Structure formats: structure tokens, C-alpha cells
Structure 1
Amino acid sequence: MKRISLLFLAFLLFFISCKVKTTEEVKEIKSKVNSEKTSTKAANVTILEKTFVIDGLNDIPHKIWLYLPPNYNSSKEKYDVIYMHDAQNLFDNVTSFVGEWEIDETLNNLYKKTGKSFIVVGVENGGEKRIEEYTPWENVKYGGGKGKIYVDFLVNELKPYIDENYRTKLTSENTAIIGSSLGGLISFYGGLKYPEVFGKIGALSTSFWFSDKVITFAEENGNQQKTRLYLLVGDKEGNSMVPDTENMAELLIDLGFPSQNLKTKVHPDGKHTESFWKAEFLEVITFLFNLENNERTNN
């Protein structure tokens, strides 16, 4: 009996040691994969030396990614600005979770074809704190609810800093806020709460399900006459994503939101993925900044 117990104990120790080793090996493999990724960030994308710890939100130093137009250093013109979230996923394959949006490649190609340029300001999310940063209201299951602090930071601290240090067009007509999923929710919230700051909203695959309070918020803030809003959702995103988006669009129209300023797109093959948002980004900004009409006017 003692011999059997000793053998069992030896096997158990061996199993545990193998499990630990396997876990360490997995971490090593993940680290190796990340280190072997090739950076896809364009030369005109940088990360600011200055980081921002957002007072009242958390103690995470948020990095800011900055895309400047290809002609920024050779011109004196001022530019439209797009504020975006989840900056880790916007420009570089190395930092992206499951693929990047290729914002820099898309805008560089747009400039080559049309001469149209933008500045893009991307704010890194706080990792495990992302939910609380991008949600204006609490959810019983998922928590959150510090989104107002985050949006106030964008309005009162980050935008003034960017406007002071870079050649930006200052008005809401020239400023957009764009994000996906919870980033879509905080964009929707930020744009409607501060229409004098963000005149253009890109709410992609928006998590309207997170809180019923979004309905009351829309009823109180949705009658915007100058704001342009692009609502995107994929038919393969599951749950209530499509009806939630369509219902929100109907509510806004009922509230008096101009139909010509609102576009709702349900993509039949769209999934809740970075690749979906990457593929749709150009169409989003084309609507928000009226690029097709501007191009025809310039021609």
C-alpha cells in the first residue's frame, strides 16, 4: 500500500511539473510569436513621448498614437482630425490583438489618389480596464461605467493638447470620433454628448446591449441637426446587434435627427472582427467627411 502511495505521489509530482513546464512553454511560444511579428506601422505614424494618466479613471499611462498626413511636413495647411480608441489595433500588426485596421495604409492610399489628408489620434485602451473606460453606464454582469471620465479627458485634455501642438482644424465639422464594439458605444456617447466638439461619429458594431440607459441618453441627446453619424453592423455578429442598431437609427430619426446625416449599414457577411472594421473604414470616413461630393466639387 505504501509503495502504491509513493508511486502515485511520484506520478502526481511528475504531472504537476509537466503542467508547469507546459504553461511556461506556452508563454514562451506566445512571446516568441509576438517578437517575430513584423511591424507594419507606416513611417508617418508615431507614438507620443507624452503619456496621459486620466484623473479619476485609473492609474494607467495611456499611450497616444499619432498619424500625420504624408504632406504634413511639406505644407502649412491644417487638417481634419479623427479621434479613435483601441490604438493598439489601428496601425501595427505587432501590437494588435488579432490583426490591425491598417488606418495608415488606407489614408496614405487615399492621399495618393485624391490628395485628401487627415490627422488621426489613437488612444490606447487600458487593457483589463477597457470595459470601464469605454462604458458610460454600469452593467450588472460586466461592471464598467467610467466612460464619462474618459470622454471628458478627450474633450478637455487630449484635444486641446493636439490642437496646440499640431496643425488641426478646430471645429466640430472637422472633428470625428470613431470606434468599434465598446469603442463604438463610447464614440456614440461622446459624439452626442459633445456635438460642439465631435461633429462626426463612426459607431461600428456598437455594443448598444451593454445598458438600457443608452436609450434614455439618445432620447435626451439625439436631436442633433449638424452631426453626421455612421452606424455599421454585421449580420453575422450574433445576439441582438443588428436589431439594436436598426432600432437606434429609427429612434434617432423619430427624434428629429436629419436622415441625410445618418447612414446605417448592415453588412450581410460582417463579423465582430478587426478585419471587418478595417474593410469598412474608408467607407465610414467617406460618408462622415462627405468625400465623394468634395472630390466632385474639387474636380
Structure 2
Amino acid sequence: MNPRRHFLQQGCTLASLALLTPLLSTSVHAQTGGRFIDIEAFPSQSIKPRKVRIWLPPDYDEKQSHATLYMHDGQNLFEPADSFAYGAWGVDKHIVALHRKGAIQNCIVIAIWNGQQDRSREYGPQAPIETLPPELQARIPRPGSAGKTSPQSDAYIRFLAEELVPYIDQHFPTKRDASHRFLMGSSMGGLISLYALANYPQTFGGAACLSIHWIIATNPELTTPPQHEILARVAQTYRDWLTQHLPTAGQHRIYFDHGDQGLDALYGSHQQAVDEIMRAKGYRSGMDWQTRYFPGTDHNEREWRARLAEPLTFLLK
């Protein structure tokens, strides 16, 4: 990138972020005692403005530095009224309980609302998708996306790493090294968590990917058996990309899990192939990498809520 252009873009970004301070609103979460700080429309030069919610723990102390956890699909993380059909994850409750037991370090959670109709375009890993023939690329977006097939995930992760992270570090007492800054998401939120980590390994120190949607495609008709060959081809593109771009083993933590019901029933063979990549890259199971299998579990918020302590402990221990 042209240095002058980069400088001007960075200056505009910092100027727009500086205007955010008056937009903050604070509320107390009665059940945990922690605080929510909401930015209703976080401005960005990369993606459409969206809500960002910062959760501060009950014993939040501005004099103490905190780890940070960046989570996707922010609508589903805290309040049931904001979430999908299976309820919220209860992230704040889990963190409070685990911290009180001494299982994890204290942290601030940054929840980013998804782009709604653009969710698939923002969470689908762009570089691998763009290696596919056009006819396959066109089959990846979710129906109802108004014919928009162009991935937007590079813009989304640029927003995370170059706009949101600097803002959080400027306005809150955070530990500013990558080893204390993590990502987490489920399904396609798992895809984008791993993609962001691989693209910005100096910014993020780990990613937890629950029921990661290895097949990438979201069209329901592609999940029927006659179409599995297409899914295998699409999924292979991400594995090929990961083989080249996963960060160095020993410096990051990566967590995967999946069940065997619903969409999760499609993931097992793909996860096993990724596990082989992890071993070949030097990742050590139980140390800097973990894959968990939860038999009998489906692809929804209720299941992720039930096992959330596992990835939280792995990242934040």
C-alpha cells in the first residue's frame, strides 16, 4: 500500500474513532454485576456500522490490565431477548463463575453484532473462496442475500484488527500483547475467527471455533448427500489455505469442537483432516491446540452455551 495513502486512511480512522466517546452508554447487568458499554453504530471505513457491546467484569478496575475476548454474532452472547431461537450463550455468567474459581484470568468481552443479511459474506473466508471457479463461488452465499456473492471477510477482519482493537486498547485498560487477545465464534463465526487469527497473528493470540462450519457453503440444498462432493471441494480450499497460512505453532492457542447432530453431523471428517494439518504444523494437542467432540449435540446456541466453559478455559487459563 502507498505509505502516504495508508497514513491518510489511518488518520481518518483515528479521527472517526475519537468521535465515538460521546456515543457510549452504560448499563448494569443485574445478574452478574458486570457492566455493558454499548456503541450502537461503530463507524468503520471497512464495513457497515454496527453495534458493539463491551462487557466489563464485576470487579473491573481501571488500574488493572485485562485480557480481551472478541466475539462474533454479538446478538447471541448475553441477553436472550437479542438472541436466536435457542437463547443466549450467557458469556458473562460463564466468565464470572470461572474467574471466581480461579480457572481463568479476568477479561473484557467485545461483542460485535453480525451484519445480518451480509453475515455469510463477512464470515466466509475470502482468500480461499476466491480460488474457486465462479460457478462454485456463486453457490456459497446464503439464500436471501440479494444475489450478493462477493465475500467481504477481508474487510471485516480489517475492521477488527485495524479499527476496533486500537479503539478498545485506547479506551480500556487492556493487555496489549497478542498473547492476551483472543477471538471466539460458532459455525461461520468459527470460520472467521480462525481466518482473522491466520491473517493477523501479531494482533491475536488465539481463537476458539465452536461447531466450525468447515463446509463454508450455506445453501441448504448443498447439505444433501448428492451435493457432498461440492462441499468437499469447497472445504478443501480452506484447508489448503490453512496449510500455508496458519501461524507458527507454540505462539497461539486454537480450539475446535463439534457435535454429530444437525449441521454438526457434516463436520467430523473435515475436522479430522484439519487435525492432521495441525499435527503437521507442529501444534500439540492439549497444549496450544485442542479438538473436542461432543456426541449427541446439535448445531445451536443451547449446545454452545452448555460447553462454553471448555473454550473459555482453554483460551484464558
- Counterpart residue number, 1:171: 177
How far, CA to CA, are the matches of 1:94 and 1:42 in structure 2? Answer: 17
Match of 2:107 among 118, 137, 153: 118
How far the C-alpha of 1:111 sits from its partner, in A, is 2.9
SS at the partner of 2:278? helix
| Alignment map for 1:18-33 (pairs within 5 Å) | none
Deviates more, 1:110-119 or 1:92-101: 110-119
- Tell me the distance in 2 between the aligned counterparts of 1:50 and 1:41: 22
CA distance in 1, matches of 2:44, 2:120: 15
Residue of structure 2 equivalent to 1:127: 116
1:103 aligns with 2:91: yes
Give 1:270 shift: 1.8
Query: 1:49 — aligned with what?
Result: 39
- Aligned-pair CA distance for 1:46: 1.7
Q: Aligned partners of 1:248, 1:88: CA distance in 2, in Å?
A: 29
DSSP-derived class of the 1:207 partner: coil
Residue 40 of structure 1 contacts residue 94 of structure 1 at CA under 8 Å; is this kept in 2?
no
Aligned CA distance change for structure 1 residues 168 and 63 (closer, same or farther; 3 Å)? same
Q: Deviations over 1:220-267 (max 9, x none)?
A: 112522111110111224452111112111112113334431111110
1:256 lines up with 2:246 in the alignment: no
In structure 2, C-alpha distance between the alignment counterparts of 1:63 and 1:188, rounded to whole Å: 22
**Structure with bigger gyration radius:** 1
2-structure distance, mates of 1:172, 1:53: 24
After TM superposition, which residue ranges in structure 1, 4 or more long, deviate above 4 angstroms? 39-43
Aligned with 1:86 (options 64, 73, 78): 73
Residues 274 and 144 of structure 1: CA distance in aligned 2, closer, same or farther (over 3 Å): farther
Cα distance in 2 between the residues matched to 1:151 and 1:223: 16
Distance 1:56 1:90 in 2: 24
Query: What is the count of residue pairs matched by the alignment?
Result: 249
Instruction: Work out whether 1:217 is the aligned partner of 2:205.
Output: no
Match of 1:140 in 2: 138
CA deviations over 1:168-222 (Å, ceiling 9, x no partner): 0011110110000000000011112211111111011111111442122201112
Structure 2 Cα separation of the partners of residues 124 and 223 of structure 1: 27
> What TM-score, normalized to structure 1?
0.77
1:273 corresponds to which of 300, 304, 307 = 300
- TM-score, normalising length: structure 2: 0.73
Distance in 2 between residues matched to 1:111 and 1:261, nearest whole Å: 21
SS in 1 for 2:82: coil
**For 2:50, which of 47, 58, 62 is the aligned residue?**
62
Q: 1:131 to 1:230 in 2, by over 3 A?
A: same
The change in CA–CA distance for 1:197 and 1:223 in structure 2 (over 3 A counts) is closer
Deviates most, 214-223 or 169-178: 214-223
User: Are the counterparts in 2 of residues 136 and 144 from structure 1 also a CA contact under 8 Å?
Assistant: no
Between the aligned partners of 2:75 and 2:32, the Cα distance in structure 1 is: 14
User: Which residue in 2 is equivalent to 1:193?
Assistant: 199
Q: Which has the higher contact order (CA 8 A, sep 6+)?
A: 2
Match of 2:24?
A: none
Distance 1:256 1:120 in 2: 30
Q: Does the CA-based 8 Å contact 1:80-1:117 persist in structure 2?
A: yes
- Computed over aligned residues only, the root mean square deviation of the Cα atoms, in angstroms, reads 2.0
Tell me the distance in 1 between the aligned counterparts of 2:97 and 2:155.
35
User: Cα–Cα, structure 1 residues 126 and 40, in superposed 2: closer, same or farther, change >3 Å?
Assistant: farther
Partner of 2:166: 160
